[in-house]
Structure 1
Amino acid sequence: MAMASVSGDVGADELLAGASVLSRPAEEFGNDPSVEIVWAVKAFEHAEVYFNILCSVDPKLLKLTPHDEDIYRAFREEFPDIRVDKLDEDQLKSPEAKEKWRPFCEKFKDVVEDYSFGTLLRLDHSGEYSEQNSILVTRIQFYAVELSRNREGLNDCIRSKFKPQKSSKSQ
């Protein structure tokens, strides 16, 4: 992948310090850099694993959660006009979009584990993760868009364009 390792300048002590606090209530934190680094590392690792899977497997066969059918159906009912091939950040983050996405996301609060985790999403389905082609969204938004891309055949092009990469953890 074209993304540089997020954890390149962060040592094990910083990562462990950040990881140890993730289970505490969010109200206890200001802008704790160690926590932000851990979230960024986790989001990058998730993106790396997901993209490698797309490079290796027919996307139509992927099962992302035990609730894929419910997520896909709810997304297409709530957002029938969103084209998921090339997303515009405003479709996900404008004040109007946030008002519409919030109830959608909350439907899955007690259904999908880590539904609100920060997760990287590719803006253009045909490209890899990069600084220009990625946006941070909630995990449930990622699932909604990527399930649509997989089921609607948009991610089929990935296997022919890209090869799986070694994990940045092992480099």
Structure 2
Amino acid sequence: SILQEPADKFGNDPSVEMMWAVKAYEHAETYFNILISVDPTKLKLCKLDNELYSKFRGKFKDLKIDKIVENDIKSEEAKQQWREFCEEFNSQVADWNMATLLRLDSSLDVSEHNTIIVPRTQFLAIEIARNREGLNSDLRTKYSPKRIKDSNNEPTEK
């Protein structure tokens, strides 16, 4: 797929940026639909859940993850810490650095105002922690699964 090609091959090609945005949104919607369909405390996101959680809470023990303040993960100091954390898993987490949408407020749905773009490893670490710490557990009582459109703009049940 074109999304597997090196980024420097494209520069700032708007069509490639749009494909990444669509893929990130589809992932966010699919993940949210899973969260509201099963007990998130029992959900396993990848084979490294235990290690990601342990290292995340070891390195970011005071980070509030129920309602993330963007500056807490996007400041220069935080970005450096996250870069080091994510790079630890670069050979173990598939698409470890892929742009992924993360909900800022764990009690709310995916929306333009409630998401930021983070590397896949950062998304996994925070969402594994939210699941294990029960922060995603009330979502099933507030939301029901949505029909979303795939990249061909066809409705799919996710």
TM-score w.r.t. structure 1 length? 0.86
Q: Where does residue 33 of structure 1 map in the other structure?
A: 14
* Alignment partner of 1:78 is 2:59: yes
CA RMSD of aligned residues (A): 1.0
Which of the numbers 78, 101, 108 marks the counterpart of 1:127? 108
Shift of residue 23, structure 1, vs aligned partner: 2.5
Q: Which amino acid aligns with 1:147?
A: I
Question: Does residue 93 in structure 1 map to residue 69 in structure 2?
Answer: no
C-alpha separation in 1, matches of 2:41 and 2:142:
17
Percent identity, aligned pairs only, is: 54
Give the length in aligned residue pairs. Answer: 152
Q: Does 1:46 align with 2:27?
A: yes
The one of 105, 125, 136 aligned to 2:86: 105
Richer in strand (by share): 2
Per-residue deviation, residues 95-120 of structure 1 (Å, max 9, x unmatched): 11111111100000000000100000
- Select the structure of larger CA radius of gyration: 1
Q: Is 1:24 the counterpart of 2:5 in the alignment?
A: yes
Q: Where do residues 132-147 of structure 1 align in structure 2 (5 Å cutoff)? A: 132-147=113-128
User: In 2, distance between residues paired with 1:77 and 1:120?
Assistant: 23
Q: 5+ residue gaps in structure 2?
A: none
What corresponds to 2:46 in structure 1? 65
Displacement of 1:157 after TM fit?
0.7
